[in-house]
Every structure is written in C-alpha cells, then in structure tokens.
Chain A
Amino acid sequence: GQNIDQPTEMTATEGAIVQINCTYQTSGFNGLFWYQQHAGEAPTFLSYNVLDGLEEKGRFSSFLSRSKGYSYLLLKELQMKDSASYLCAVSPSTDSWGKLQFGAGTQVVVTP
C-alpha cells in the first residue's frame, strides 16, 4: 500500500534550525514535494526533489534518498511566520505528476 510518515509536531526556537523527516513506501516514485500550510489556508509549494541529494532554496533545503525512501526538509534561521504545517507528498503515478500522496503533515511551532 501507500504509506507516507512524518512526525506530528515539532517545536523550535526563533533563529534555530529544524529538520522535518519524511519516509515513504509507495507503489511508484516520480518525485517528492514539500508544501507549507498555514492554519485555515491552502498549501503553498516549497520545493521538490526528483534525484538524490540536497536542493537549497534560501532558508529552506530539501534532501532525498530514493534507495532509503527518505526525505527531509530543513528550515534554517526560523522565523515566527514559519509556524505552520509542513506536508510531504510523493508523486507515485506515471500518468500525472499532480496525483500526489500526502503525509498527514508536521505542525512546526516556533517560539520566541
């Protein structure tokens, strides 16, 4: 079956670094996406990984290991506005990249 696991909640201090892990077991794999979702709002796209390795985008970085079925999202220099749910999603289908399997999300709480 399809399984995407990520921690339920993480707390970190403003200015610190937080790493959100995601493990997946899916029937296929095209790529892995990370989304940010503030409470009551729609998810917004952060990054994607197709090949193994690290992708860096400003304060956010995402890593993928396809052989291990593992990814992480690294948030650096945390700001209060980074308090949100972070969704890991896998594209397992060959007919459409947008048919994503989502994890339940990791709620990140940034404290002063």
Chain B
Amino acid sequence: SQTIHQWPATLVQPVGSPLSLECTVEGTSNPNLYWYRQAAGRGLQLLFYSVGIGQISSEVPQNLSASRPQDRQFILSSKKLLLSDSGFYLCAWSLTGWASPLHFGNGTRLTVT
C-alpha cells in the first residue's frame, strides 16, 4: 500500500530565515505530487504541483519554490520567510489516472515569528 511521509511536523522560524519541507511517497511510481497550504480558518490553497521529476507548476505567486529531485520526493523551500507564510502545509499525492483522489501527508505546522 502507498504511504506518504512529511516532515517536520511543527516548525517555528524567524522572519527572514530559510525554509525546507520534505515529503516522500512510498509504494507507487510516478505519482502526481502537490503542496497545499491551509491558513487558519480558511480553505486549502494549492501552491505547487508536479507530474514528474523536475516538472513543477506554480499556482500562486509567492516567495516559495518547490523541487522534485527524485520521482517520489517533493521539497518546498523559501530563501526568506515572511510572517504571512505561517500556516499548515500539506503534501499530497495522487495517481495519474481518472478521478484519482488526493492523499495527504500529516502536514507541517509552520509559525513564522
């Protein structure tokens, strides 16, 4: 069966510091990978998605970036965090087929101070 690992679970970072969140998927090949963010009391917002190694699409302009160095590894980064980057970050995967649902990792709660 497929599993998704995301770390760290919680993170407190000062404004202006860098960020690196990592996500790996096991038990499937060539998954679609996604980064979503959930701000307090709001819906999930898609940040990035990837359909293959090195293929990244950005959905929202921001100071974040994503990379997919391996088939089942997805990384979210920032060079300088802003206060507005605080939120609950969720990595997710889906199969490439029709009507494939998203499956989320446990999330990273980021607080920028």
Would you call B106 and A45 a contact (CB within 8 A)? no
Interface residue count for A (Cβ, 8 Å)?
24
In the complex, B100 has a CB within 8 A of chain A: yes
Would you call B103 and A45 a contact (CB within 8 A)? yes
Measured CA separation A103–B99 after assembly (Å): 19
Measured CA separation A105–B100 after assembly (Å): 21
In the complex, A50 has a CB within 8 A of chain B: yes
A-chain residues with CB within 8 Å of residue B103 when the two chains form the complex: 45
Tell me the total A-B contact number using a CB cutoff of 8 A.
61
Closest A residue by C-beta to B103 = A45
The A contact surface, by secondary structure, is loop
Closest A residue by C-beta to B100 = A97
Query: Counting chain B CB atoms within 10 Å of each CB, which of A4, A30, A45, A50 scores highest?
Result: A45
Measured CA separation A106–B22 after assembly (Å): 29
Query: Ordered nearest first, which 6 A-B pairs have the shortest CB separation?
Result: A98-B94, A102-B43, A42-B104, A102-B44, A45-B101, A104-B43
**Which residues on A are within 8 Å of B, measured CB to CB?**
4, 30-31, 33, 40-45, 48, 50, 87, 89, 95-100, 102-105
